[in-house]
Amino acid sequence: MTSPLLSTVLLGAGVALLGFAPLLPALRELRRGVGRPLHIPGDDDAGAGFFAARMRERLREEFGDGDPLTKNPLPSGWIAASNTPIEGAHGRADEPAATLIGQRVALAPGCRYLGDVVAREYADLGHDAVVRAVLVEAGDTRIADRATVLRWIDAGFIDAGRDARLLGRTTARERVVLGTGAEFRRIAAPTITFGRELASVAPVDIRDARLDEVTDGDFIEHPDEQGRWVCRGALRIPRGTRVRGHLVVEGALHIEDDCEILGSVKAHRGARVGDRVHIDGSVFAGPHAVLGEHVTVHGMLSAEATIDCGRGLRVGRLERPASLLAPVIRVGDGGCVHGAAWASRLGKVVE
């Protein structure tokens, strides 16, 4: 038989192992060499437009290449939209309403349609309306203030008002505009605008400088053929400095105002970026990234926990799309992303 002392020891060891389990990802990260990339949370392989593609496939299976609205009666599970906005409550979470289809589909203010909506040309969600999913085959969508899309939406142009909520996947062939206070999760579009559009602002009074001359950083690697600086511990880059080359920082990184980084940045302990900073590459910011106003990042901007951005953020370019990626993302007024903005827990447009 097992002695009481041994049982107590085994129980204590089991409790200790359970307590340390959440720290295993962090311990793996600490063992990484400085030249290896940080772990950035990804998403499933289906892509932002997965559900919209499935709906298009369902349309082809049900109606072929013809116009679904000419078919009378519609197949089971489909209903035709009327010429007036849909009102009231339809469907439940455990029993979705029939798929609503029409040339132009509108949900009245406060309407709760827990089913899919397919519009051939245009969809309009009134304020405080709730819908499960929306596909606009060849047109645009207006989402009024405080309206909610629970699962996914796909259209050519999507205009979401103040405090709207896009809680699933959002895809647009042209542009997505999110009003102040709007929430989002996964967005993919050539252009994503947060709040009002603001003119871009470039850094001022920039000077070329070697990092080992203008900082007190402990550099264990100076620029090699790939132009990489590696710093042990924390690093602060003074205002108005132009850095040529990639930058790897084992500690926390602070880039002051009006700097220009001609390369990518990796900061294992997080990054703080000042106003009017231009980064001609990607940013991998460890747990947290805090950005000032009018920051430009030509590549991906990602963090393992949170990203907080001031007004006028720019990520990616039309000719070179990039991603804004973190579990929690808060973007200030006038931000613009060309590519994707993916927040697995919460994305929000803040004033």
**Whether residue 41 has pLDDT greater than 80:** no
d(CA 297, CA 181): 23
* CA dist., res. 185 & res. 153, Å (int): 12
Contact 190, 158 (CB under 8 A): no
pTM of model > 0.95: no
Of the candidates 115, 83, 122, 112, the one whose C-alpha atom is nearest the C-alpha of residue 99 is 115
Residue partners of 173: CB distance under 8 A and separation at least 6: 155, 156, 157, 189, 190
Q: How far is CA 106 from CA 34, 70, 129, 134, in A?
A: 54, 20, 10, 11
Q: 3-state class of 13 per DSSP? A: helix
pLDDT band at 9; cut points 50, 70, 90: low
Helices of type H across the chain: 4-20, 24-30, 50-63, 211-214
The tens digit of pLDDT for each residue in 68-122 reads 877 878 889 999 999 899 999 999 988 999 999 999 999 999 999 999 999 999 9
Confidence of residue 15 (pLDDT cuts 50, 70, 90): low
**Amino acid code (one letter) for 165:** R
- What's the pLDDT score for residue 59? 92
Q: How far is CA 312 from CA 141, 198, 218, 307, 349, in A?
A: 25, 6, 33, 14, 12
Closest to 168 measured CA to CA, from 48, 37, 262, 276:
48
Question: What 8-state DSSP symbol labels residue 137?
Answer: T
Beta carbons of 224 and 280 less than 8 angstroms apart: no
Q: pLDDT-based confidence at 132, cuts 50/70/90? A: very high
Cα gap 105→84, rounded to integer Å:
8
H or E element that contains 237: strand 235-237
Residue 14 has pLDDT above 90, yes or no: no
Residue 240 reports pLDDT greater than 70:
yes
The count of residues in the chain is 351
Q: Tokens 């109606």, residue? A: 63
Query: What is the residue-averaged pLDDT of the chain?
Result: 88
